[in-house]
Amino acid sequence: MLFAVIPAGGSGTRLWPLSRAGHPKFLHPLTGTESSLLQATVARLAPLTTPDRTLVVTGAAHAAAVARQLTSLPEENILVEPSPRDSCAAIALAAAVIATREPQAVMGSFAADHLIRDPQTWVGTVREAVAGAEQGLLMTVGITPTRPETGYGYLQCGELLGTGPLRRVEEFKEKPPAEVAQEYLRSGRHLWNASMFVWRVDVFLAELARQQPTLHAGVTTIADAWDTPERENVLGSVWPTLPRISVDYAVMEGAAAAGRVATVPGDFGWNDVGDFDTLGDVLAPDGARNVVLGGGPAESKPGVLLRDSTGLVVVPHSGRLVAALGVRDLIVVDTPDALLVCPRDRAQDVKKLVDELRERGEERYV
């Protein structure tokens, strides 16, 4: 049975002022239900594994919130990073800890802050990835692109492995310019990199040792001390020395070049919920095409009054009444200490506001 690892980091600046450094995206109920993205991620794993075999890696600042949201997870499965060292350190630590329990276990790594519309199809795709991982491949799940997206990285696929659906991954491609993204869309051999990985921990750790010996040595030392009284000391001294690097750059690109990476193409309504416009696309709108976060039709929400308004994304998150009259395609995010009003087609620029607040020294809003 699969070990599931959920790296829960990143603040989601484009979802400001809902998402904050202190209360990031994955902790918020951006799912159209009461569940947070993190809770939905764990719930989605139910057919694949158990809470005992589910690990979350998160920052010290969020450990308490994660522990309270995921009451079913054993305490020891919440791995707390003393400081952010990017995704490779987080995932590698989890792999090394799992390896001390079960040296040849298959683990999957799944982002804490993505939405999946069709979880059942997703489970099937992950099972195919697990089959590939059992054969010793470093598996990714690739998303069949539906538009020439410039905001994601891509997987460039090669030949089918056996009778499929697994395909070799030739190369990891960075976020492309618009023209290149158009080409990728036409090519039929480029998939979105959704940062879902499935592998045997021994295979991953061997590849890590080959490409990132320092990182490998560091996480191995930490994992060896994990179940001892020395954990805190070792973590405190070794963790800060680990290189800050993403798992894509650190391991997957080199592994792909060596022919060790494959992918399962997936089509299960994946969305990274990067900004409020995307959120509006993915959640169910009411009759006037308005999306009000919190579930149920807008008209029935006591705290929202929308009149002659359409295409809105409304986040009534302060408990106050949000009234809109005669506006369209607008984002209105209402939080206890900050309010955002912005057209949906400027949703990407919200992070610039956050930058500006930092420049102005107004960190309390960030």
Give the interface with its own copies as residue ranges (CB under 8 A).
Answer: 17, 302, 305, 307-308, 320-327, 330, 332, 334-343, 345-346, 349-350, 352-353, 356-357, 360, 362, 365
- Establish whether the linkage from the previous residue to 17 is cis, with ω within 30° of 0: yes
Smallest distance, its own copies to C-beta of residue 17, A: 7
52 to each of 105, 121, 192, 257, how far by Cα in Å?
14, 24, 30, 35
Following DSSP, what letter does each residue of 202-245 receive, concatenated? HHHHHHHHHH-HHHHHHHHHHHHHTTSTTHHHHHHHHGGGS---
List phi, psi (to 5°) of 250: -70, -40
Following DSSP, what letter does each residue of 50-67 receive, concatenated? -GGGEEEEEEGGGHHHHH
Is residue 170 within 8 A of residue 261, CB to CB? The reply is no
Element of type H or E holding 262: strand 261-266
Is residue 26 within 8 A of residue 7, CB to CB? The reply is no
Smallest distance, its own copies to C-beta of residue 312, A: 9
| Nearer of residues 230 and 308 to its own copies, judged by Cβ | 308
Smallest distance, its own copies to C-beta of residue 346, A: 4
Smallest distance, its own copies to C-beta of residue 59, A: 25
SS3 135: coil
| Nearer of residues 261 and 332 to its own copies, judged by Cβ | 332
| Nearer of residues 247 and 333 to its own copies, judged by Cβ | 333
Smallest distance, its own copies to C-beta of residue 266, A: 34
| Nearer of residues 16 and 184 to its own copies, judged by Cβ | 16
Smallest distance, its own copies to C-beta of residue 29, A: 20
| Nearer of residues 18 and 143 to its own copies, judged by Cβ | 18
| Nearer of residues 101 and 320 to its own copies, judged by Cβ | 320
